[in-house]
Every structure is written in C-alpha cells, then in structure tokens.
Amino acid sequence: MTLWTDRVRPEITGALTGEVSLADDAVDARDVITVEAPFTGEEIGTVPAATEADVTAAAERARAAQAEWASRPLEQRADVLSRFHDLVLDRREELLDLVVIESGKVRRDAFEEILDVATNARYYGSRADEFLTTRRRHGAIPLLTRTEEHRHPRGVVGMISPWNYPLTLAVSDALPALVAGNAVVLKPAEETPFTALHVAQLLEAAGLPEDVFSVVTGRGSEVGPALIDRVDYVAFTGSTETGREVARRAGENLVDCSLELGGKNPMVVLADADLDRAVQGAVHGAFTNAGQLCISFERLYVEEPLHDRFLRRFAERTRELGLEAALDYGVEVGSLASSDQLEKVEAHLADAVEKGATVVTGGEARPDVGPYFFEPTVLTDVTPEMDLAREETFGPIVAVHRVADAEEAVERANDSAYGLNASVWTDDAERGRELAAGIDCGTVGVNDPYPAAWASVDAPMGGMGDSGLGRRHGREGILKYTQSQTVAEQRGPPIAPPDVPGVPRDVATRLYARTTTGLLRALKRLAEVR
C-alpha cells in the first residue's frame, strides 16, 4: 500500500487497490493501466485496459438494461437521483480523498465537484417531469387538430470524460441522461478511473439497476472509437482536436453528439472595477485546479487607468499562493496532473520568454513540492506569435494585457477561435451585462470568474466556435438525450382538397385554396391580437 492509500478512509481503499466492479468481468487483467498519484508519482493501483470486444459486451448489456429502466415511471427514476444526491453529500469526504489523490488538485477545488454533482442531481431529479412530460402543441387548425409532443430516450449514451474534473465530468452530465430513461456507458480518462468506478458504486447504492450505468476502463485510442460505434448518442468532454475526431465518427454513424472542448478564456477588467474583488476573481479564475479547468482564464485585459495597480496587486497575491501536496482544505494550489501537462506548460513558457514575454512572478517547476508542481505564473508582453497567445495552455499561466478602453478589451477578447467562458469586472453592473452580451462565449460572468454561471444549472452552459457543440444544464441539457415525437390527430375535415361527388376536381381545389387562404389570414389576425 502506498503513502497516499495509507492516508485515506477505509471505505475507498478497495477502489484504490483495484478491487472494483468493471463493465465486463471477462476483461483481460494481464493488460492493465497503471494509475499514479500526481502529488508523488506513486502508483495507486491498476485497472484493466478494455478491448473492443469488452466495449461491445458492455454496450449490449446496457441496451438490454435500458429497456426496463425506461419503462419505469419517471418518478421512480427521479428518486434515484434524489438518493444519489444525499449519498454524495453524506460521503463527500471519501469522495474528496479519492479525487485529490487521483487528480492532484487541492481539496478546496475538489469540493467544487461535490457541489456540482449534488446540484445537478437535485435539479434534474426535481425538474425532469417538467422537461419530459408529454406537452400539448398548437395544432394545424385550432379545435380541429390535436397535437402532442412526446420525449423518448435515445437508448444507450456513450460518455467520454477527461481527467481534470474526474467526479463532475464523469457523472453530472450523465444524470439527465439517466433520468430521461437512457443507459450510460462511461469511458473515463486513463489517469482517473477510480473516481468513475466509485461513482458507479454510489449510483447502484442509490437504486440504479445493474448495467444502466457502466464504466469501461481503457485507452482512448481503442475504447473511444469502439464506444462511439455502438451507442445512440455521444457526450464528449476534452480537447478540441479529439473533439473533431469524435464528431467526425459520430457523423459517420448518424448519431448526434455534444462536445465540450477547449478554451482560451478572457477576463476583462474595466477602470471602475473594485480592485480587490477583481484581483481575487483573477486568482480564482486563473489558478483553480492549477489552471487545468476548461473555463479558467488565460488572458486578462485591463483598462489603462487600472492596469498598473491591478498588475502589481495580482502579482503579489499570486506570489503568496501556497503549493503543497496534502489532503487538507487549507492548501491553495495543487499539482499538474502528469508529466505531459508539465512539459506542455514549460514548453509554452519557454517559447513565450524566448519571443519577448516578461515573467512578472512564478515561472518555475517545483520538484521540491512534487514531481509535477509548477508555480502560478503571471506574464506580460505576450504577443500573437507566441504559442500561449492563442493555444490553450491548460496550466497555471496567465497573460495580462493593457487596453485603452472597454471596446478594445471586448475586441481582443473576441479575437480567438475559442468561445467557452469569459468575465467582465466593473462597478456598473448594467454596463457589465451589456459588454458581456457582446463577448463571443457560451458563458460570461459579471464580477464573477465562473461559479455563478456554472452553478446556474437552470441555464445552458457550453461553447461557441472551437469550444464545442451542444449544451449541458437546463432544458437543453436533458432534451439532448431525448428524441422528440409528434403525434397529431385530425378531428375535422382533412387538410387537403376535398373530393366532392359531382363537383369537378379543379373547382373543388380552387374552393379549398380560397377557403384555406382566408383561414390563414384569420389565424394571422388572431395571433396579432394575442
């Protein structure tokens, strides 16, 4: 047993040593994936590397289980989410231990995942009937046509989740799929499979039938394509490059997909912003999870009159951030997730410095803390030819830019292929909302880095441009997992030229056209009155 598994609660040591239930008991255990703790680089366990045959078996079992699950009353399915909500809160400390150990993030950042999962479980558990219940629609002809819209589950949903938020991204978007009557087969990231496996156990404890939510561990290059080929809908969170491949393959199979992809997120700070509040927002927005957050900031645009004071205070606060490998709540910044992430961060920084960027604070790896730790870093003098100017770094590096006015700030914020998240900081809330609406991002906060928009689960969340397709949260977040069906009953005369005995067809058709035209005019006038 390793240092980190020795320190966790006994409830999850079984998961950390590989004593877990996989999607297919026949997976060849000789081909395994080793999982390490980013804090130390130590091995914390292994999981089987599933094959294409294993994915096929998991999908077939999911399809068989889905039919019975979908036939249950919606209230029963919602009750599972309600019980899961309580389990997540009751067992939050063991979940936090697992997330911290697997991902290398600090406990305070991991707690955001607990909040997110519980919030989504509560929301969709209590609102699913509103979104899924059969609805009356306006018929073709008032009183004579009765039209209804039904919502049916798609069937089996394939989900592919990343390593940076192993709890949230493994289950929050799966909850609406489940309550809508689908089965879910999840392929978690190779780096963080144990969190997903533990989630499956909690869902089962909450009353979810066997095989309605299953986890297939394995390498993305093999399991990912196999999963896309065997499901009725694909939900992917990850890089834009991989997202294009997922969309291409889903399109070939004529199945729909949602993609939450990368971001190069801007923060706009106007001259009238509260300095302390804006600085704290920048720290939170840039360095949560060591910058490994798809909606974190990598570009800051500060209006001229406030720029120097903001930069000085932001650098001071960044310099004070504590790095530590610990399970405690008090630690501010954790580790990067892997050697690959560390190499990318170092490469982006080296390229920027070589091309003229200035390091205001940070800029060094910290092997004295742990193998993948890197100091929170603030840069200035970043120019467009630098790699980190336009590419997503996904690490604790942020560039601060001076702008002349709000118009320039918004223009430069929009100068990106990405459009996931942004924020505007100002003492004039009305102006802030107006500017926010002009930024080409799926979510924009006013005087908030991201929690207010992210936690507003009644509103859709997703990206524009290269940041993805589709939305999670709200009505859109559950209806994407359904197919609509329209059932219309015609109670009166048919909507077609009548066949009247003894009347020439052309005469009957002209009469039908004249009468229908009059009806359309009347319906328009009625709509205008309303």
Q: What is the DSSP string of 331-346?
A: --B---SSHHHHHHHH
**CA–CA separation, 33 and 43 (whole Å):** 11
Q: What tokens does 324 get?
A: 């530590």
Contact 374, 343 (CB under 8 A): no
**CA–CA separation, 297 and 293 (whole Å):** 9
Buried residues in 80-108 as b, exposed as e (16+ CB within 10 A)? bbebbbebbeebbebbbbbbbbbbbbbbb
* Host H or E run for residue 140: none
Other residues' Cβ atoms within 10 Å of the Cβ of residue 299: 23
In 3D space, the residue among 174, 128, 238 whose CA is nearest the CA of residue 458 turns out to be 128
Contact 270, 422 (CB under 8 A): no
**Please, what is the angle between helix 92-103 and helix 107-132, to 10°?**
120
**CA–CA separation, 251 and 187 (whole Å):** 19
Q: What is the DSSP string of 457-523?
A: TTS-B--EETTEES-BSHHHHHHTTEEEEEEEEE-SS-SS----TTS-HHHHHHHHHHHHHHHHHHH
Beta partners for 194? none
Instruction: Indicate the burial class of 275 (C-beta count within 10 angstroms; 0-12, 13-18, 19 or more).
Output: middle
Q: Which residue has the tokens 């923060």?
A: 267
Alpha carbons within 13 angstroms on the beta-carbon side of residue 418 total 27
Tally helices (H) and strands (E) across the chain: 20, 20
**CA–CA separation, 317 and 129 (whole Å):** 47
Distances (CA, A) of 367 to 93, 101, 102, 348, 364: 28, 17, 18, 19, 9
Residue 528 neighbours by CB under 8 Å, 6+ apart: none
**CA–CA separation, 207 and 290 (whole Å):** 36
| Residues designated as active site | 260, 294
Q: What is the DSSP string of 7-40?
A: HS-HHHHHHHTT----S-TTS-TTSEEEEEETTT
Beta partners for 299? 266, 399
